[in-house]
Structure 1
Amino acid sequence: MSQLELVKIFLASPSDVRMERDYVEKVVEEINRTTALSKGVRLEVVRSEKNAYPSFGQGGQAALNSQISNNVLLMEDYELFVGIMWNRLGTPTPRAESGTVEEYERAIAAFESNGKPDIWFYFREAAAQLNSESELEQRLKVLAFKKEVQGRALTHDYEKPSDFRERFSQGLSLWLSRWEKTEDNQKKTNLNPFQSNTQRIINDRVKDFVGREFVFEAIDNFFSTQPKGYLTIEADPGVGKSAILAKYVQQNYCLAHFNQNRGS
């Protein structure tokens, strides 16, 4: 039997989404028994609250960061970063508004430098009782953070933990279906070959990343400020890139050229 390739997933979240955390591990266990085997890989989840050991002399998040670097993996060696939030942003650290935010920022920095990990962020949108000023403040911070994340990473909303489990399972299965096992233990650089070939160009050329709800505004802003150039819209297959552009063209009565790459 050939050796399974280990694929690391980093999970970051505050304390009010404990059920979702557990669902991540359960989904990974299920996929390890099915799809992952056919791909020759084994998924492993690293959870900050479970995979760190007690340490003296450092702030909690700094100790975690050090342990990730020295005893597990560098952030860029993870293939996928999964963040989850509801009403709590989390406890501040000396370097960020919370430990989860700091982990997210480290993942962004790793992706911009090395093209990995892929970054997903899930936000629970169900109503909750906020009985104090501090709870309301936490909720407002989450909303502000969500707006920032939507411009830089793939985000998903869900209503309840069971919805999260279903969406995460579907997303992870699709993500893994695109996996190509590396040969001779060479480290894979990216799951998406189109992204791998173009990411350097995109990083050099594109300065602003926006969520889908802001695409039209971004296109208008580009055309109003740039005399010439290219506007790149990059997203996973099936999310509606062509439909978005077709609707924009229809509303603005302009000519468009579609260059479709089946791998994008």
Structure 2
Amino acid sequence: MKQVKQIKLFVSCPGDIVDELNSIRLVIDDINKTIGEQNSYVLKLLNWKTDTYTQIGSDPQEVINNQIESQYDILIGLIWLRLGTPTKRDKSGTVEEINRALNNKEKEQLIYFKTTTPIDITKINPEELTKINQFKKELGDKGVLYHEFSSTTKFESLFRIQLIKLIYDKLSNVDNSKKNQNSNLPEIIEDKFSHITSLIAEVENFDEKSIELDIFNSIEEAESHLNLVTTSLNSMSESMNDWTIKMENRTKEMNAINNIKDQRLKIAKQKTIINLLAIELSDFKNRIKNELPIFSENFRKVGSSYSKVILIAKNFNSEEVNGIQESAKSLLDNSENSLKSLAVLLKTIMELPPLNFKFNRAKRETEITIKNLTFEMMEGIKLLNEALKN
């Protein structure tokens, strides 16, 4: 009978983490229904409320430590505005659970800090933020890697990539361990037809759900996201180049006007050029703004879809998979170059002097749009870097 490995996950977080818990469940369900079935493992999310029983202890946290810690394989630590309630042994229950996982070589950890500003700013407690920053410093001093995210959507993408990679690494280590153990065993055949019997048993115990898996569909999905984000990036780069040329031309026109001695005529021509520049700046902003949702969504999905393909195809030497890897690396290089150009462009726009209301408004709206694009590009690069790590 086909053995299914169960990988148990435990989420450690204070009570202000809510939306991300739903994201974790969605990612786990998706992995179980797709790549989990093919690779014969199932992810199970533990809950201290349902996976613990009544036990006498010095405090509730000790009961959780005694019962949950022995069960889970991967701890997911999440912190936002609160560190949590202090325990007898540490700064909070969450901190205690994370530190215990870090001190246990058999446990894996994925640790995240949410950086989103709450809608209700009264929820921000300076003392809590100080404690959180101190905990970050302690993790950094220990050489512990943690990740920050600014939205639930970005967390879901980052978590999906890192969980798939962690599972892939763990499964690979298990497989290699089994191979090494088997290589030392003597080949004893008690039944000359045992290998045929094993084949029959394997057919009879086949997991029918794995029929639904299609590596080529997964490759097509990854390629689709790659193509869309590449096309969007090229379109925005073209818009940036067009506006740069227009800006240079308007600057030359302004310099030529400075030679006009008639002040009225000079001012009138300057106003005309400034208004034209404002229109061109708004047009440039709108072109970028229209591309931003397409770029942002597909850039996030490139990393997660690439990770999914690699895990499904880990037993295949597929040219298509290698092609996607090369395309993803090329996208990463192009994105990093575009990010540098974007920073230069943003600085140039920010340094433009205030001229009139129409121009000033266009300038400000463009600054915000370019800032948003810069942020999304940095987030996408971070996710793609995670996916490409070997």
TM-score, normalised relative to structure 1: 0.59
Deviations 1:79-130 (A, max 9, x none): 322100001000111011100011011101112xxxx322221111111345
Q: Determine if the alignment matches structure 1 residue 81 to structure 2 residue 75.
A: yes
Q: Which structure 1 residue ranges, 5 or more long, are not aligned?
A: 187-237, 239-262
Corresponding residue number in structure 2 for 1:35: 35
Deviations 1:41-73 (A, max 9, x none): 11112233453345555411012112225xx52
Distance (Å, rounded) in 2 between the aligned partners of 1:91 and 1:32: 33
Distance (Å, rounded) in 1 between the aligned partners of 2:136 and 2:51: 26
The one-letter amino acid of 2:37's match is L
Distance (Å, rounded) in 1 between the aligned partners of 2:117 and 2:54: 35
Kept in 2, the 8 Å contact 1:12–1:48? The answer is no
Corresponding residue number in structure 2 for 1:14: 14
Superposed displacement of residue 181, structure 1: 7.6
Residue among 167, 171, 179 paired with 2:162: 171
The one-letter amino acid of 1:79's match is D
Kept in 2, the 8 Å contact 1:107–1:117? The answer is yes
RMSD: 2.8
What pairs with 1:57-72 in structure 2 (closer than 5 Å)? 58-68=58-68
Which structure has more strand as a fraction of its residues?
1
Q: Determine if the alignment matches structure 1 residue 155 to structure 2 residue 149.
A: no
Q: Determine if the alignment matches structure 1 residue 122 to structure 2 residue 116.
A: no
Superposed displacement of residue 172, structure 1: 1.2
Taking a change above 3 Å as real, the CA distance of residues 50 and 166 of structure 1, as seen in their structure-2 partners, is farther
Superposed displacement of residue 22, structure 1: 2.4
Kept in 2, the 8 Å contact 1:5–1:41? The answer is yes
Distance (Å, rounded) in 2 between the aligned partners of 1:22 and 1:125: 18
Corresponding residue number in structure 1 for 2:93: 99
Superposed displacement of residue 145, structure 1: 0.8
Distance (Å, rounded) in 1 between the aligned partners of 2:10 and 2:123: 32
Taking a change above 3 Å as real, the CA distance of residues 83 and 57 of structure 1, as seen in their structure-2 partners, is closer
Which structure has more helix as a fraction of its residues?
2
Q: Determine if the alignment matches structure 1 residue 137 to structure 2 residue 131.
A: no
Distance (Å, rounded) in 1 between the aligned partners of 2:49 and 2:20: 14
Corresponding residue number in structure 2 for 1:229: none
Distance (Å, rounded) in 2 between the aligned partners of 1:38 and 1:180: 14
| Equivalent position SS for 2:167 | helix
Distance (Å, rounded) in 2 between the aligned partners of 1:140 and 1:53: 35
The one-letter amino acid of 1:52's match is T
Superposed displacement of residue 176, structure 1: 2.3
What pairs with 1:171-250 in structure 2 (closer than 5 Å)? 171-178=162-169, 179-180=171-172, 182=174
Distance (Å, rounded) in 2 between the aligned partners of 1:145 and 1:49: 26
Distance (Å, rounded) in 1 between the aligned partners of 2:158 and 2:137: 21
Corresponding residue number in structure 1 for 2:267: none
The alignment of Structure 1 onto Structure 2 pairs a total of residues equal to 178
Kept in 2, the 8 Å contact 1:107–1:119? The answer is yes
Distance (Å, rounded) in 1 between the aligned partners of 2:114 and 2:161: 17
The one-letter amino acid of 2:100's match is R
Superposed displacement of residue 143, structure 1: 1.4
Distance (Å, rounded) in 2 between the aligned partners of 1:108 and 1:17: 21
The one-letter amino acid of 1:175's match is L
| Equivalent position SS for 2:164 | helix
Larger radius of gyration: 2
Percentage of pairs with the same residue: 28
Kept in 2, the 8 Å contact 1:35–1:176? The answer is no
Superposed displacement of residue 156, structure 1: 1.0
TM-score, normalised relative to structure 2: 0.41
Distance (Å, rounded) in 1 between the aligned partners of 2:84 and 2:167: 30
| Equivalent position SS for 1:120 | strand
